[in-house]
Amino acid sequence: MHWTRKAICVLLSALTLLSFGTAFAGANDALFDQAAAALLTPQEADRQSGACALRPGDTLFVPAVAPEITPYDQQTAAPAPTAQGTFTTSDPAVVTVDDTGLMTGIAAGTATVSCALGSAVTQFTVTVSPDTPPAQARAMAYVALREFYADKRARLPKYNQYAKWYYGKKKEVGWCSVFTIWCANASGNNPVQEESVAQVAPTDVIYFREGQVGNQYDGFFKLNRFVAVPRVGYLVIYGDLSNGYRTTHIGVVVDAQDRGNGVYRVTTVEGNMSNTVKSYCYLYDSNAANNTVGVEKGKRLQSNMSALPADEQTDPLVQYTLHTDHWCVFGFGASWQ
């Protein structure tokens, strides 16, 4: 075979790009592996920090005996402690604890709960606050992040592990909503059909089992839980400014930081973004909230997303570039209140 100089140059360039791409992918894989190894379950994080929090009326096992997350469809019994011990609280007016280690938040405040397992005594600082994300929401955020690190932004087929779990049979459709349902189940939550829920208690945590984003919106809206302010474990629904379509895409909020003046730093994990799982971080302006568009007469979708300042774009695994220049946050499905 006769090779021209030009052909040889093209081949060498291609091989160089392939080598660079492989090395880059390998470096990224290592970063994903490191992030996955550092990611703690909520129970592990509480044990490591020696502190935990819950809302008034909520229950939570003392971290030393707290069971790990079990997918809802694999649960055969109510969660149980992992060991027997002796438990005491410094202030039962703030938090009580029974003889199995199950704590109940009573009123806002801070107390110390002691756990004696044999001769070893461990103390945990327990904060009770109505602003505390419930355990189910923390678990949802953890599972979403775990999947992001595990998938490593690899391109997935439309009939992937999430779609297979949801549909059972092969069905190649958009799977952003299916990803949130999968995460809800995997985090121990019970995603329910939107039509089956007419009302919920204010303290209930809820996720819907709707494969269409519009039906997810319907479920939260009818419960008066489609809101303008993000929180951990909420679902974010995006709209499209270019055509006024309000339920374009959905993802999981894994972190929300109040920056003041109605602006929030939002971090998400989202399925079916370029056929993979990605994490995004951006600034969201709740002063330009869109959650009442379609309800308030004449109100239209407003631009309310902007890029994080360059000096804060520090995580090489996170996407800081906005999805597009014509998407906006339509609102947030409040899985808890």
Give tens-digit pLDDT for 215-251. 999 999 999 999 999 999 999 999 999 999 999 999 9
Domain ranges of the chain: 42-128, 135-333
Strand, coil or helix: what is 81? Answer: coil
Q: Which two tokens stand for residue 34?
A: 């490191």
Question: Rounded to the nearest 10 degrees, what angle do helices 176-186 and 135-151 cross at?
Answer: 120
| Residue 22 confidence class, pLDDT cut points 50, 70, 90 | very low
Q: Burial-class residue 229 by CB neighbours within 10 Å (0-12, 13-18, 19+).
A: middle
Cα 255 off chain centre by: 8
Whether the pLDDT of residue 57 is over 70: the answer is yes
| Residue 26 confidence class, pLDDT cut points 50, 70, 90 | low
Of 28 and 266, the one with more pLDDT: 266
Whether the pLDDT of residue 10 is over 60: the answer is no
User: Structure pTM?
Assistant: 0.91
Whether the pLDDT of residue 301 is over 70: the answer is yes
In this predicted structure, what is the pLDDT of residue 4?
A: 55
The contacts of residue 180 (CB under 8 Å, 6+ apart) are 207, 216, 235, 250, 251, 252, 271
Please tell me the CATH code under which domain 42-128 is placed: 2.60.40.1080
In this predicted structure, what is the pLDDT of residue 162?
A: 97
